[in-house]
Amino acid sequence: MPSCHPCRTPVEPGAKLTSHGPPVKDLTLYRSLAGALQYLTFTRLDILYDIQQICLFMHDPREQHMHALKRIIRYIQGTTDLGLQLYASSPSTLVAYSNADWAGYPSTRCSTSGYCVFLGNNLLSWSSKRQLTSYRSSGKAEYRGVANVIAETC
């Protein structure tokens, strides 16, 4: 898609992927593109969550998933100058950030938590994953996210 029109965002605002709709015509192409984009997430953290959502449907992709995947490619086409920057600096401080999306996954109502850990100006570690249980409050989802980043920092 070298001559595609770039997008300003990797996904449509408020869009949620479901398992409904017609299946993808070329399953191999979908899996190949999704797999290739997974490697790009090592340096493009801005698409990490979006690629994770695409890969949730790797076993049974639908046309809406292929459209979402193509939109991510269009976003990448317009933002080729973005990416993970590594700086030569003396590591002085260890800083960790955590966040959670309470009950954000519509079919299971499970939360998604994520964190990132910096040493100086350089990103050391990051994670974004769907939690296995649904919590009754956003506080418990946030607590689980904080517990994950503390374990990673230790």
The answer to whether the pTM exceeds 0.85 is no
The CA distances from residue 69 to 15, 64, 96, 112, in Å, are 13, 9, 30, 20
DSSP, collapsed to helix, strand or coil, labels residue 142 as helix
Q: What is the DSSP letter of 5?
A: P
- Which tens digits make up the pLDDT trace of 58-85? 999 999 999 999 999 999 988 887 766 6
- Which tens digits make up the pLDDT trace of 128-138? 777 766 666 66
- Which tens digits make up the pLDDT trace of 102-149? 666 666 667 778 888 888 888 888 887 777 666 666 677 677 778 888
| In the chain, where the domains are located | 9-84, 94-153
> ∠20-74-64 over CA atoms, to 5°?
5
